[in-house]
Amino acid sequence: MSVFPQLSMKSEVREHLCNVYTRKEVVSELDKDEVFEALLSCLSHPPLFTCLRASTHLHPLQETQHRLERHLEQQKRAPAVYTHPQLPDVLLLPVHGPRHVDLLAAEVIVGAQCGNAVLRGAHVFTPGILGTPKYMKVGDMVSVFSDVEGKCTRGAKEFKGKKVFLGNGVSEVDRSELFCSDGPVKGVAIRMTEPLYQSPSFDGVLTDEVFLQNLPSVVVGHVLGPRPGERILDMCAAPGGKTTHIASLMGNQGTVVALDKIRSKMEKIIQNAKMLKLDCIKAYCCNSIHAVSSDPAQENSADAPCSGLGQRPNMTYSWSLKEVCSYQPLQRKLLTTAVRLLKRGGVLVYSTCTVTLAENEEQVAWVLKTFPCLTLEPQVPHLGSEGMQGAGLSCDQRRLLQRFRPELVWRGARFAHSPENFLQNANTDTIGFFIAKFIKNGKKFTQA
């Protein structure tokens, strides 16, 4: 059973994706339509766990775990904070939902992005609000809905379009403060008191000790395996989730060069590095495709810009097929530079948060053909599934890849947490994600 509509997308994108997921060789032992339908359903729901990466370069994991438990107790929440046996810097918090919540007469409409954040435990911040009741005042109890199709106009007093219920909250602002000509007030506008999915809010909590990061993203840092004193290049770094993880794994010793082509995003890397007390990070605003260096890196992370189809929760995907397909050539340019800027014997980790074949397994097949100096390496830890068929990779090659496929375990939204399946759920009910690890051997690199 599902409480939300399946992820909706343009028919051309749906057909493109459906072709990948219903190919005979891809779904030999599974029911093809079921897997694709499960994918679209699970993507519109949040994962079963909130994953926090602890700053183990600053504090032992158990200390942070205890501080988080105390924080949850103060919030009158069950202090359930779990460690992960294979990820020594991860803390997992179960997400409970969907719960039964009664609808109220007063409706607040928020944008889809804001709605997705609410489903992952956030309160509603002022910029996310599109519509409120005409006379909404501080202290009013309201039901919050996501405008999943982007049809609600800002300042609306009612909305009849397609909306999805996210839970109830209490208003901390008057309507007049939200849509006034001087620009809206900042901060929390609706404090969620009865969210459909209950997951603690970490806004301003233990800010130098924990970083909200999806589990497969944390796996990337461990697969890269940086050591203190090394020189690492992070080519697509903002907001710095992986950069700060790499620097933390290095014990803040060595250099992590973090590049992002958007200046405001690059500044976010600097902010995050400062907050987590990591001064071995050097961030630059740069188009990585044109990056040059006289000192090649020992390890490169290319967490490529991608079509983002693995993100959860997401109820509407508005991109055209042309936009989705535009990422493959861009990623190839980034990979070409990544290979050039890597030392012999160095490691390259390529990752995306999307589910297409074109941006994942097909890229691996292209890399292996184009750069004979690169070979696939086993990944540790390997928590996801193997790579998908359909891109011409051998079984052995696919086994070296790591694809997080929540659709393979999706049994509907009311699947309860059970202690026996705790680890399996944490490792599988994740966002859709892909990781490939290459090593550069001695052969001279020549581009085909």
Ligand X SMILES: C[S@@+](CC[C@H](N)C(=O)[O-])C[C@H]1O[C@@H](n2cnc3c(N)ncnc32)[C@H](O)[C@@H]1O
Q: How far is the CB of 274 from ligand X (least distance, A)?
A: 15
Residue 183 or 329: the one with the smaller Cβ distance to ligand X is 329
Residue 336's Cβ-side half-sphere holds a number of Cα atoms within 13 Å equal to: 12
Residue 140 or 260: the one with the smaller Cβ distance to ligand X is 260
- The span from the CA of 156 to the CA of 168, in Å, is 19
Q: How far is the CB of 3 from ligand X (least distance, A)?
A: 28
Residue 131 or 241: the one with the smaller Cβ distance to ligand X is 241
- The span from the CA of 147 to the CA of 115, in Å, is 8
Structure tokens at 229: 């004193």
Amino acid in the structure at residue 421:
N
- The span from the CA of 423 to the CA of 307, in Å, is 28
Q: Residues in the chain, how many?
A: 448
| DSSP state string for 113-143 | HHHHHHHTT--EEGGGEEE--TT--TT-EEE
Counting Cβ atoms within 10 Å, is residue 54 exposed (0-12), middle (13-18) or buried (19+)? buried
Q: How far is the CB of 221 from ligand X (least distance, A)?
A: 9
Q: How far is the CB of 261 from ligand X (least distance, A)?
A: 4
Residue 98 or 221: the one with the smaller Cβ distance to ligand X is 221
Q: How far is the CB of 239 from ligand X (least distance, A)?
A: 5
Residue 110 or 273: the one with the smaller Cβ distance to ligand X is 273
Residue 242 or 440: the one with the smaller Cβ distance to ligand X is 242
* Coil vs helix vs strand at 181: coil
Q: How far is the CB of 238 from ligand X (least distance, A)?
A: 4
- The span from the CA of 106 to the CA of 338, in Å, is 53
Q: How far is the CB of 240 from ligand X (least distance, A)?
A: 5
Active site residues: 353
Q: Which residues bind ligand X (CB under 6 A)?
A: 217, 236-242, 259-262, 265, 287-289, 303, 305
Q: Which residues contact 143 (CB under 8 A, 6 or more apart)?
A: 103, 104, 106, 107, 108, 165, 167, 168
Q: How far is the CB of 269 from ligand X (least distance, A)?
A: 8
Q: Compute the radius of gyration of the chain from its Cα atoms.
A: 22
- The span from the CA of 203 to the CA of 265, in Å, is 19
Residue 41 or 354: the one with the smaller Cβ distance to ligand X is 354
Neighbours of 31 (CB within 10 A): 11
Residue 176 or 287: the one with the smaller Cβ distance to ligand X is 287
Query: Furthest-apart CA pair in the chain: how many Å?
Result: 71
* Coil vs helix vs strand at 436: strand
- The span from the CA of 269 to the CA of 265, in Å, is 7
Residue 143 or 354: the one with the smaller Cβ distance to ligand X is 354
| Helix spans in 179-227 (H) | 215-224
Collect contacts of 17-26 with beta carbons under 8 A, ≥24 apart. Answer: 17/309, 17/355, 17/356, 20/356, 20/357, 20/388, 20/390, 23/389, 23/390, 25/389, 25/390, 26/388, 26/389, 26/390
Q: How far is the CB of 351 from ligand X (least distance, A)?
A: 8
